[in-house]
Amino acid sequence: MWGSPISHSLSPTLHAAAYRELGLDWEYRAREVAVSDMVPTFSQLGEGARGLSLTMPLKEAILPLVAHHDPVVDLLGVANTVAFTSVGPVVTNTDPQGVEGALDDAGVHAEIAWIVGAGATARAVGYALANRGTQGIVLVVREPARAVATADVLRSCGAEVTVVHHDDLAKAPSPGLVVSTLPGGAEFPFVPELTVLRSSVLLDVAYHPWPSQAAVLWQREGALVVSGLSMLVHQALHQIRWFLNGHANEPIPGEGEVLQAMKRSVGLPSS
């Protein structure tokens, strides 16, 4: 796991739990890597490497270093995974599968969703929502002009997309789901109307510190809140598919048991 900062990451815990369950003597560690160190550090990876996880700002910096791109990477413009396959390194992005898995676990489906933010994570979230049948996506932002590129990407996925400043949300359709893509510890930029808090589910992609400001708002009204830990687990599971199989099209052996072990390792309920 590479990134900067990286000390808060729970990815090593998740991967270690999965490899124990699989009986694999694999090592997965977090490493502080800045963009300026990306090229020499990547070139020094040994032949035994099976995969690499990336967090911002390396999700964009990795793209020119790897020739083979999973199509989702070129659509979203970021990658969170490098898999060392029989055809060489391949970059992919498992964040959409993380979103889908978290919402599936919670039994959440929404015709209308608000996404707070319009960066790389918002693109991954919107892509996942479009795949799950969400028809209307509202990008809630501070600076609408900076959301144009993300809105265009999500429209290409088949969603109807509106960009709204967070002061103008009275004009937006009521959501069944609100997704915060703000980084952990960031200030939530608005207080939703009570009708929104009481009638929508919150998925907050952050998980540290927890509860987030957004989570507190929804929890006060007794609404369902899904933490970013669930998304983290599912995106890591799909990374492991890539590391083991060289693709993510098939489950890994005993995948159900592996998933439960990963959930337990970070304190999520397992079935």
Spatial CA neighbour of 187 closest among 151, 163, 162, 216: 216
Over 90: is that where the pLDDT of 56 sits?
Answer: no
Over 80: is that where the pLDDT of 271 sits?
Answer: no
Residue pair 221/247 in contact by the 8 Å Cβ criterion: no
| pLDDT > 90 in the chain, percent | 92
Q: Give residue 166's identity as a one-letter amino acid code.
A: H
Mean pLDDT of 165-180: 96
Residue pLDDT, tens place only, 63-79: 999 999 999 999 999 99
Cis? peptide before 209, omega within 30° of 0: yes
Over 90: is that where the pLDDT of 256 sits?
Answer: yes
Over 90: is that where the pLDDT of 147 sits?
Answer: yes
Strand-pair category, 31-32 with 2-3: parallel
Long-range (24+ apart) CB contacts under 8 A made by 212-217 are 212/180, 212/182, 212/184, 212/185, 212/188, 213/187, 213/188, 214/116, 214/178, 214/180, 214/182, 214/188, 217/188, 217/191, 217/192
On the CB side of 245, CA atoms within 13 Å amount to 14
Residue pLDDT, tens place only, 153-163: 999 999 999 99
> Helix, strand, or coil here: 14?
helix
The residue with greater pLDDT, 257 or 48, is: 257
- Which is it for the CA torsion 198, 201, 206, 209, positive or negative? positive
Residue pLDDT, tens place only, 91-138: 999 999 999 999 999 999 999 999 999 999 999 999 999 999 999 999
pTM over 0.85: yes
Structure confidence at residue 23 (pLDDT) = 97
- Which is it for the CA torsion 251, 60, 53, 101, positive or negative? negative
Q: If pLDDT is split at 50, 70 and 90, which confidence band does 149 have?
A: very high
The residue with greater pLDDT, 51 or 47, is: 51
Residue pLDDT, tens place only, 209-218: 999 999 999 9
Over 80: is that where the pLDDT of 195 sits?
Answer: yes
Q: If pLDDT is split at 50, 70 and 90, which confidence band does 200 have?
A: very high
Spatial CA neighbour of 15 closest among 4, 29, 2: 29
Mean pLDDT of 28-45: 93
Structure confidence at residue 7 (pLDDT) = 82
Domains of the chain, earliest start first: 2-94+232-265 (3.40.50.10860), 109-223 (3.40.50.720)
Query: Exposed, middle or buried: residue 150 (CB in 10 Å: 0-12, 13-18, 19+)?
Result: buried
- Which is it for the CA torsion 27, 185, 142, 171, positive or negative? positive
